[in-house]
Amino acid sequence: MRGKRAKVRDIKPDPKYGSVLLGRFINYIMMKGKKTVAQGIVYDALAIVAMLAKRDGLAVFEEAMRNLSPQLEVRTRRVGGANYQVPMPVRGERQAALSFRWIIGAARAKKGQAMAKKLATVLFEASQGLGDAIKKRDDVHRMAEANKAFAHFARFSR
């Protein structure tokens, strides 16, 4: 490994709800440094979700994150000249990062609506265990389940 490991930065909680997780999500939504635009999109989406679910938007967001967090993923290991897909548990930080990525990917794939509306739809579906983001999580779990036979190679990991 070259150089030093990057230090983990402290991420400030979002100004409206005071949630660090939501602050990180806003940073993932942000493009070209336009944080206020990203905040507007996320807060509008949470307001729409609150109307759809008839409860607090932040609670729906947190439930969607719980539903989307993957427990296992496959990682490639090279053992004896062959590459194996080895199922491994997912760390907490990576669980959140993957969940954010799947939510944003599913929202951006939808066409013909404002980003806040698309994001609200994806979050609402994910909180109910439905939608494209949940399908992505299920695909990752299915892949890990299919490669369970190679789990004994996990101990060689760093």
Full pLDDT tens readout for the chain, 158 residues: 689 988 988 999 999 999 999 999 999 999 999 999 999 999 999 999 999 999 999 999 999 999 999 999 999 888 888 888 899 999 989 999 999 999 999 999 999 999 999 999 999 999 999 999 999 999 999 999 898 888 888 775 55
Which superfamily does 20-156 belong to? Answer: Ribosomal protein S7/S5 (1.10.455.10)
| Cβ-count burial 72-81 (b if 16+ within 10 Å, e if not) | bbbeebeeee
- For 84, the token pair is 């194996």
How far is the C-alpha of 27 from the C-alpha of 97, rounded, in Å? 11
Q: Which of 105, 106, 107, 98 is nearest to 74 (CA)?
A: 98
For tokens 């991420």, name the residue: 11
- The structure's pTM equals 0.89
Q: Helix and strand tally (H, E) in the chain? A: 6, 2
